[in-house]
Homo-oligomer: A and B are copies of this chain.
Amino acid sequence: MKAIEKLEKQFQKLASYEHLAAICGWDQAAMMPSGGNEARSHAMSDLAVLCHETLTDPNMSTWIKEAERDTETLTDEQVINLREIKRVWTQATQLPSELVEKKSLIGSKCEHEWRSQRTNNDWNGFAENLKKVVEAAREEANTRAGLTGMRPYDAMLDLYEPGMTTEKLDVLFGELKTWLPALIQQVLDKQSSVKLNEPNGPFETDKQAALGKQMMQILGFDFNHGRLDVSTHPFCGGVPTDVRITTRYDEQDFTSALMGVVHETGHARYEQGLPKAYHGFPAGEARSMGIHESQSLFFEMQMGRNPLFVDHLAKLSAEAFNKQDDAAFSRENINALYQRVRPGYIRVDADEVTYPAHIILRFEIERDLVEGKIEVEDIPTLWNEKMQEYLGLTTDGEYTNGCMQDIHWTDGSFGYFPSYTLGAMYAAQFMAAMRKTVDVDACIEALDFAPISAWLEANIWSKGSTLTTDELVIQATGEPLNPEYFKQHLIDRYLNN
């Protein structure tokens, strides 16, 4: 067997194990009774070890070297596969196993205790664990940086957003910061006179679920290869041939779950549209967290909150809840609800305009934390200062809804946050490019998403990780990431409407 075939066989086995991890992870969040958690966590942890062992098999290094030596005998697909195989293998083997284990233990403890500490606004308790997490993260970042010549924070970014650097983010987010606070203020002024009519519940869970599924159907979700269920924290999981998305229902407010379903459907269609020829291989996976988020935000923000789409959504919701004569279900009112901008404490509840402020704040703090320029003790003050500067809100003494609100840092996932705003930027740029060849508004008005899907499938989904992010964006839009599209999108939607 040729070395490339040995590699492919090993990765098919890894894909099988990861398939089981994905389904059991979904089950844990969406189906499992709580009494099953201890044994499940144990089984999942054993599976994670197995996946790591499979990826870092002692033979991998030889196989990769041999395959690289024989490049001229490989097909084009195999060359691409080899590049991505080497990338994930390199990342997986950079850390000594003692550090991997230490990180995992410290992270599990911090995350576990964070759940109650957050509820109790217990910063001191949390900080004690977080210090150890940060220490391990610095060790990780420095180790990865030492082996690659990257900056420490770049080495972390590379895990989620290959090719992205601190330098680029400093420019992108630095520029954003120059206009965002003023834009937020302008939008708030403009919206101050808007009168909102909150729809009155209760909205039965069953009906919300049926409406969500109707929306997924309209948006082209393939129910032969996926499901919608319920979990405390909505997510998109499963495997490309069986994508599992979740939402949570609030009987007093259907709007949030409904738009959440549109968001997850974006993630899901990306997964369902990944290149089948590469299924099970790194080259067949989603390109990056930022590109993944670009698809969910394309669905939620670029399409889903387009007033022409919200018109349909208002009509379908009124039908679903039998509220055709309720003024709260008018197109105007539902549109106003879905375009409401309100600075708030909680990132996951933020609207499209204020969301980047939450991300820039986190980026600036985690960048300096990983590179040792600030310490855990500095976080609350910085959080408060930046919240005031970007959103005009104070978080003095408030940790639950301040620097303790997110799960990401608890297990050391530093470098992840920027993906959210990169995703918003990519989504705006994809939409601008798509509009050159697709009459997007006419499609949305006619609820005909085939041309939109076809563009995304051809330019994004079917590419998997066969291109670098830069290549992907340039091939799809004619230029590298350009944040102007996002700025123009916000101005058009929130000021020029």
Contacts and interface: CB of A to CB of B under 8 A. Distances in A.
Interface of A: 12-13, 15-17, 19-21, 23-24, 27, 31-36, 38-40, 42-47, 50, 222-227, 238-239, 241-242, 279
Contacts of A226: 33, 36
A46 B23 contact: no
A224 B39 contact: no
A21 B24 CA distance: 9
Given A27-B23, A33-B226, A224-B34, A16 B47 contact: yes
17 contacts: A13-B46, A16-B45, A17-B46, A19-B39, A19-B43, A20-B20, A20-B21, A20-B44, A23-B23, A32-B242, A33-B223, A33-B224, A35-B222, A36-B225, A36-B239, A39-B239, A39-B279
Nearest to A45: B16
A305 B21 CA distance: 41
Contact of A31 (B13, B227, B241): B227
A15 B50 CA distance: 14
A380 B21 CA distance: 45
A19 B33 contact: no
A40 B241 CA distance: 9
B17 A242 contact: no
Contacts of A31: 31, 227
Query: In the complex, which of the residues A39, A44, A222 has the most CB atoms of chain B within 10 Å of its own CB atom?
Result: A39
Given A16-B43, A36-B241, A40-B242, 20 more contacts: A12-B46, A13-B46, A17-B43, A17-B46, A17-B47, A19-B40, A19-B43, A20-B21, A20-B43, A23-B23, A23-B40, A27-B27, A31-B227, A33-B224, A33-B226, A36-B238, A36-B242, A38-B241, A39-B239, A39-B242
Contacts of A222: 35
B33 A47 contact: no
Contacts of A46: 12-13, 16-17
A213 to B, nearest CB: 13
A319 to B, nearest CB: 22
Nearest to A223: B33
Contacts of A38: 241
Given A33-B223, A35-B224, A20 B24 contact: yes
Contact of A35 (B23, B44, B242): B242
A207 B385 CA distance: 56
A193 to B, nearest CB: 46
A165 to B, nearest CB: 36
A46 B38 CA distance: 25
A159 to B, nearest CB: 25
A337 B151 CA distance: 76
Contacts of A32: 242
Contact of A42 (B16, B23, B34, B45): B16
Nearest to A238: B36
A17 B35 CA distance: 19
A36 B26 CA distance: 15
Contacts of A20: 20-21, 24, 43-44, 47
A16 B279 CA distance: 26
Contacts of A12: 46
Nearest to A242: B36
A223 B36 CA distance: 10
Contacts of A225: 33, 35-36
A42 B15 CA distance: 10
Query: In the complex, which of the residues A23, A36, A241 has the most CB atoms of chain B within 10 Å of its own CB atom?
Result: A36
Contacts of A19: 39-40, 43
Nearest to A47: B20
A334 to B, nearest CB: 30
3 closest residue pairs by CB, A with B? A36-B242, A16-B46, A35-B224
Nearest to A33: B224
Contacts of A239: 36, 39
Contacts of A13: 46
Nearest to A241: B39
Contacts of A35: 222, 224-225, 241-242
A49 B45 CA distance: 19
A36 B243 CA distance: 9
Contacts of A241: 35-36, 38-40
Query: In the complex, which of the residues A15, A17, A226, A242 has the most CB atoms of chain B within 10 Å of its own CB atom?
Result: A242
